[in-house]
Amino acid sequence: MIHLRIVATPDRAAHALELLCASPSVLNVIHLPNTARKPPGDVILCDVAREDASVILSDLRELKVPDQGSIAMEMIDSQISGAAVAAEKAAAGLPSDAVVWEEVESRTSENTELSVSFLAFMVLAMLIAGVGILLDSPILIIGAMVVGPEFGPIAGLCVALVELRGDLAKRSSTALAIGFPIGIVVTFLMTYAVKSASLEPADFATTAHPFTAFISRPDIFSFLVAYFAGTAGVLSLTTAKSGALIGVLISVTTIPSAANVAVAGAYGDWAQAGGAALQLLINLAAILLAGVVTLYVQRRFYISRRRKHRGDPARQAAGLPAEPQARRGSDGAGRSTEPEGSTIP
């Protein structure tokens, strides 16, 4: 279940109440008139089945509730209620498979900023991977994969391409385009310093690290693993199974490959550096392709469900039309949540 806190002007709150009370997948509706002060208006609290969360939120946007108010979401970990069981049964599908698009957009937007912390994690992850290559340590390579923050911007770019959101695409691309080069440069300098001080293992050679050689030798399996991991990663972000994301992070060698570009470059082995760079590009392309395909399929299911939802009696009770309107939705921050030309609100 998902808990909603809605602040709306009295006239829009009245329509929102009609909608929520008439929706079988909504329960625990509480109306607090003239309670909010900034912005002024009524406060409505309710719980909605996860399966219907996005369509209900879309209806609230169509009622223009966020224009002068707000909608806040909170995930409910557990709820003991017969009414909640009935509400979930009234919503088609399973809660674990439901996609709450507003939640997806919020998650990806938070993880796509080119911030100091993002760059710090990129650099630290590549430094760990660089040491792992020098020591031929798979454990350190896995640790670098987990620390790396690159999946956030990749997922954000996938969402941006599916929803045609230029702002999110720009932020995600910028984070990747700046984060990887900075990490590679710092790792190069660290490796060069280690080499100059003769601190690397005596038997180290850029072509002789069998336990970590896979990060610079791309093949068809590199693409397949990255594609499968990208699909799993997007599914972990869009469904309730977010715990699977850790498994995804240790399956794809983006960070180690980038680090190997730096290590091989510091030792002047440009063939190894080129192989690692190719591995990096293959993995990024495969993850991006998998993410776009997965999100596109999920989005089409949502749009189909949204169109069927237009005939719901709850919409009629709220005064919403059954026919599509040529307008675009907004997430409350002024960003569009539907593709250009879409008739889905």
Helix H, strand E, coil C: the string for 39-78 is CEEEEEEEEECHHHHHHHHHHHHHCCHHHHCEEEEEECCC
Per-residue confidence (pLDDT) for residue 341, from 0 to 100: 34
pLDDT at 245: 56
* Cα–Cα dist 178/176, whole Å: 5
Residue 210 confidence (pLDDT) = 66
Residue type, 325: Q
**Residue 308 clears pLDDT 80, i.e. is over it:** yes
339 confidence band (pLDDT: 50, 70, 90):
very low
**3-state secondary structure labels for all residues of 330-344:** ECCCCCECCCCCCCC
| Model confidence pLDDT, tens digit, residues 69-82 | 999 999 888 888 89
HEC string of the chain equals: CEEEEEEECHHHHHHHHHHHHHCCCEEEEEEEEEEEECCEEEEEEEEECHHHHHHHHHHHHHCCHHHHCEEEEEECCCCCCHHHHHHHHHCCCCHHHCCCHHHHHHHHHHCCCCCHHHHHHHHHHHHHHHHHHHHCCHHHHHHHHHHCCCHHHHHHHHHHHHHCCHHHHHHHHHHHHHHHHHHHHHHHHHHHHHHHCCCCCCCCCCCCCHHHHHHHCCCHHHHHHHHHHHHHHHHHHHCCCHHHHHHHHCCCCHHHHHHHHHHHHHCCCHHHHHHHHHHHHHHHHHHHHHHHHHHHHHHHHHHHHHHHHCCCHHHHHCCCCCCCCCCCCECCCCCECCCCCCCCC
Instruction: Give dist(CA 34, CA 4) in Å, integer.
Output: 18
Q: Above 80 in pLDDT, residue 159? A: yes
Q: What span, in angstroms and rounded, lies between the C-alpha atoms of 205 and 184?
A: 19
pLDDT at 112 (0 to 100): 79
Mean per-residue pLDDT over the chain, rounded: 85
What pLDDT does residue 343 have? 34
- Global pTM value: 0.81
- Looking at residue 183, its pLDDT comes to 96
pLDDT digits (tens, 9 = 90+) for 235-272: 888 876 655 455 556 556 789 999 999 999 999 989 88
Q: What percent of the chain has pLDDT over 70?
A: 87
Listed range (14-23, 278-287, 291-300, 331-340) with the worst mean pLDDT: 331-340
Q: Tell me the residue type at 291.
A: G
Burial of 322 (0-12, 13-18, 19+ CB in 10 A): exposed
pLDDT in tens, 101-154: 888 888 777 777 889 999 999 999 999 999 999 998 888 988 888 888 888 899
Looking at residue 199, its pLDDT comes to 87
The dihedrals phi and psi of 270, each to the nearest 5 degrees, come to: -75, -20
pLDDT at 18 over 90: yes
pLDDT value, residue 211: 62
Q: How far apart are CA 285 and CA 290, in angstroms?
A: 9
pLDDT in tens, 165-224: 999 999 999 999 999 999 999 999 999 999 999 888 877 776 666 666 667 778 888 899
